[in-house]
A = this chain, B = another copy of it.
Amino acid sequence: MKKNQLPVKTLERLILYKRLLSEVQNRGQQTVYSHQIAQLVGNSAVQVRRDLMQIGFSGSSRNGYVIKDLLQAIEKTLNNAYQQKMILLGVGNLGKAILTYFTCQQPLFNLVAAFDNDPNKVNRVIGGCRCFPLEKLDELVKQEQIKLAILTVPAFEAQNLANKLIYLGIKGILNFAPVTLKVPDSVICEQMDIMLQLEKLAFLTQQKDEVNYAKV
């Protein structure tokens, strides 16, 4: 059993570095120092270096890192995972937002189909993506060997639909419904919980304010 699993925190940061390095590269810069990356991404230079250590990438002590090579190294590590096909379920406002975001601004990902059971949406192209009725789900998932799904359905439908997806062989779910989905160990479910984040933020700012009062 290999032990070289990438820590999730590092993974997240690598994705950020990648995004950011592309931008910096587009601005014509060739090399970059760890402290520059750190500054742009809001962490420490040591942490950047440690992350790059994780993926076995080395810079030169005088010039820092060659952006082109570094980008390649990160991409190799991430293994172009984002190119996997994915589907979206639930073409409400949020679903639509993600669809248009995908196809208009970020043509990186490979979003192959959307599903909904609203007859007004079915068989139309929304945000550049064809919307199918839910009955087509089985067929399409199997035919296209889909492994990833984005769930933007109402909370009360989420678990049922997730079960169905898992049964059809989906291995990863990005869930926007504010419920904790029960999934087997073989499936990964990431939670995008807007309300939770908002409540957290509200608490943290309030708390910080109190601390500031206390200091006075």
| Chain A residues packing against B (C-beta within 8 Å) | 1-2, 5-6, 8, 11-12, 15-16, 19-20, 40-42, 78-79, 81-82, 84, 86, 92-94, 96-98, 100-101, 105-106, 108-109, 127, 147-148, 150, 154, 171-174, 178, 180, 182, 186, 188, 190, 192, 194-209, 212, 214
- Count of this chain's copies in the oligomeric assembly: 2
| Inter-subunit contact B97/A196 (CB<8 Å) | no
Per the bound structure, the CA–CA distance linking A206 and B80 in Å amounts to 10
Per the bound structure, the CA–CA distance linking A2 and B207 in Å amounts to 12
Can you list 5 A-B contacts with CB-CB less than 8 angstroms, sorted by A residue number?
Answer: A2-B214, A78-B199, A82-B202, A173-B201, A192-B192
| Inter-subunit contact A180/B15 (CB<8 Å) | no
Per the bound structure, the CA–CA distance linking A8 and B207 in Å amounts to 12
